[in-house]
Amino acid sequence: MIFTSLGASEDIGASCHYIKIDGTGILLDAGADPEKEGAESVPDLQRIQLNPDWPVDHVIVTHAHHDHLGSLPVVVKMFPHARVHMSGATRSLADILLPASARLQRRKVEEGSTVVPPLFAEDDVEACSYLYQSHALETEFDLSGLKGRFSISGELYDAGHVLGSVGVHISWIEDGKERTLFFTGDTGLRNQTIIPGASYPDDTVDVLLLESTLGADPDSESFDRKGEEKKLGKSMARVLKRGGVVLMPVFALGRAQEMLALIDRFKNRGLIDENIPVYTAGMMRAISDTYDKERLTTPRLNEEFLVYGVKQRRLPRTQGGLNEMLKKPCILAVGSGMMFERTISNKIAQALVENEKNGIFLVGYAREDSPGALLADARAEKKGTMVTLAKSKGPQAANCDVERFRFSGHSNRRDLLVLVDLLQPKTIVLVHGEKAAKEWMVDNIKFFYPEIDVQMPMQNDVLEV
């Protein structure tokens, strides 16, 4: 078997890995880098075209986040004979997210914010969707290739990351012996608010493709979700009681729905007034509807819970409506999670940041140079520190409460070691993590499991496993 990363391997970007088992070629994920545009955002698919003995028979998408799904129409156009596999929930989400991506790319060109042409249009998305095949969890499906000498089967396991997220178990018989591989995708071992912790194969595996997102984050080891929930509830109650507005920048898929479930819990427990209005906006509303529709067919901590059972209003679309809304205590759960310029969370943050009665609470990952991280760093320095959320607005005084809370859907590095112990692989290939994260994983896996061969390939490296 050979393995190579076509997308980001030493970073967190466009996830896309190629494996060749005998004469069968399989792509694991078809992501796009959310920080890049056009051809620069997609994996290096040209490498496959330059290797005529690298077929692409199948594509498996682990979940619907952009960095794992975003280049799927490009992949399907390049390899039209490949069969595309995913969970049923991911297929439902893809039907929402990929057309939205096409519209966003077109709009950027039309408004002049980019000169990079769109990678695909809505018609392209519709044309390729007939290739998608959805599979139930822990049910075998065929992954054999046209030029393969033996049959290959796959199984999807709940990854505990977001709705529809899966790990991939691949098995085949080679030289009379069963061989197995497990790709974790983005995996979360512990329960969230809606999504339960991941499930894994009962048996050991030969090869483990292991995500390492939090490998360089020692704080994640001591993270106590219940404690974070209590802190967030108290902070929200404090801001609302003094007449302020709570802004929660969230990612549309996953974090938005988890936070709405928490708000519902806070209201039911009397921590915050049940009459405080909650506003949501944009694509997260369509995604929340999918969460509700899929609740009986996907792993759920409480299958009776409805995201739309949490009373919420649509965010006003006019400036006058927004101004009126911000005069009274309310909770806003809107994108983007990192508060990038030209997003609704950034626009509202500009209106809130200088008033000390308000609160901006970061509940997800924020890249160091993102407006969300810059705001948190400025406020941590001291009240009133100047910060630029948008160049058009210029520096503003960070007077409002700004707090960070940890609600990750990724396993911490100690939990990843637990997974290594559970699956007892002969070989581990580390993916989806920065260099420091992978280095910590390599050092600790070698220390605790010296018999395991640990590989940390760079993008374009070709491993023979």
- What digits encode the pLDDT tens for the residues 140-180? 999 999 998 899 999 999 999 999 999 999 999 988 899 99
CA atoms of 377 and 386, how far apart (whole Å): 10
CA atoms of 387 and 384, how far apart (whole Å): 9
Mean pLDDT along residues 252-278: 96
Instruction: Compute the radius of gyration of the chain from its Cα atoms.
Output: 22
Phi, psi of 252 (to 5 degrees): -60, -35
- 464 DSSP β-pair partners: 2
Using the predicted structure, report yes or no on whether residue 54 has a pLDDT greater than 70: yes
In this prediction, residue 174 carries a pLDDT of: 87
In this prediction, residue 364 carries a pLDDT of: 85
What is the bridge-based pairing of β-strands 152-158 and 166-174? antiparallel
Q: Could you report the per-residue pLDDT of 332-367, keeping only the tens digit for each? A: 999 988 999 889 999 999 999 999 999 999 998 887
Asked if 143 and 27 touch (Cβ cutoff 8 Å), the reply is no
CA atoms of 423 and 428, how far apart (whole Å): 10
pTM of the model: 0.94
- Residues 6 or more apart in contact with residue 239 via CB below 8 angstroms: 245, 246, 329, 357, 358, 359, 401
Domains along the chain?
2-217+409-464 (3.60.15.10), 225-404 (3.40.50.10890)
Q: For residue 129, give the 3-state DSSP assignment.
A: helix
Task: Give the tokens for residue 169.
Answer: 């178990």
CA atoms of 256 and 278, how far apart (whole Å): 12
In this prediction, residue 9 carries a pLDDT of: 65
Task: Give the tokens for residue 336.
Answer: 């983007």
Q: What single letter denotes the amino acid at residue 11?
A: D
In this prediction, residue 433 carries a pLDDT of: 86
Mean pLDDT along residues 390-415: 95
